[in-house]
Amino acid sequence: MASACILGCTGLTLSAEERAFFKGVDPWGFILFKRNVETPDQVRKLVDALRACVGRPNAPVLIDQEGGRVQRLGPPHWRRYPPGRAYGTLPTGDPLYRREITRLGARLLAHDLAALGINVDCVPVLDVPVPGSHDVIGDRAYGDDVETVASLGRAASEGLIAGGVLPVIKHIPGHGRARSDSHLALPMVDAAYEELDARDFAPFRVLSDMPMAMTAHVVYTAVDPKRPATTSRKAIADVIRGAIGFGGLLMTDDLSMKALGGDFAGRARAALRAGCDVVLHCNGDMAEMKAVVSGTKPLSGVAKVRADAALARIVRTPEPLDLKDALARFEAAFEGRYAA
């Protein structure tokens, strides 16, 4: 039975130690970063090797391929894609056109990823920034209002699913109001619950039918003044599962981020105890991974049901794509700024 974790690896190929570890631990999935990427053939071989370790040909392999400053695959082998904000500010008065191009961009992303065997993209960002918030989200957000973020987040999700790649809505229940970077410190959000519900939670409510979501390492004092959402039973039960109504697989953001305290086993246990279905550890550090795994458990019960349901959303046959025409429309929308 798979372990309730998603893990990374250190390089372009798997070491003997990594192969043995992954075979013994059987993580539910894996995640790739720039350190794991060189050429298309190399990435395909690495993806195949990861799946071979766990003996599951559909094991999820994730990547953060948003576009803009969060893009693990890039030139010369893959095109640059725009950040989310570029879609939301296309120079047109037609919101449906912005939605069309957002979906098209995600469909092209899915085409790139599916060709490598990658079947999960940690997109879309559904955070809604506010004035004074930290720029860790910044132009990764589609806009500064709920309607834009929700509409374009839906379009991006649809484009990925049509191309055979699962989207992951993030960072639930909302990172846009945070005034610090959760990679480096624990953000504290003191807004009233009514404000959070109307703005921060709203895009996630609109996309609550998506198969997967990633938590925010953020404390919302109106919900739980002591614990970030990732390790807060109240935030997960009352807000993510309750007020937002998300019913899919809930994964943590990276457990190695400095927003979280305590040892890695404790972080994993706290997240799973709070109601996360799987935990994520990204940097491939073997000692840290061993500690994370010691704090996890087999993926079972309702968490396994959600995991299986998420994977069942991967379409067997992607939507037809006229690649030449799609690229021409995409490049025309951005006036050639993101040409190959």
Instruction: Tell me which residues are annotated as active site.
Output: 183, 253
Convert the chain into a string of H (helix), E (strand) and C (coil). CCEEEEECCCCCCCCHHHHHHHHHHCEEEEEECHHHCCCHHHHHHHHHHHHHHHCCCCCCEEECEEECCEECCCCCCCCCCCCHHHHHCCCCCCHHHHHHHHHHHHHHHHHHHHCCCCCEECCCECCCCCCCCCCCCHHHCCCCCHHHHHHHHHHHHHHHHHCCCEEEEEEECCCCCCCCCCCCCCCEECCCHHHHHHHHCHHHHHCCCCCEEEECCCEECCCCCCCCHHHCHHHHHHHHHHHCCCCCEEEEEECCCCCCCCCHHHHHHHHHHHCCCEEEECCCCHHHHHHHHHCCCECCHHHHHHHHHHHHCCCCCCCCCCHHHHHHHHHHHCCCCCCC
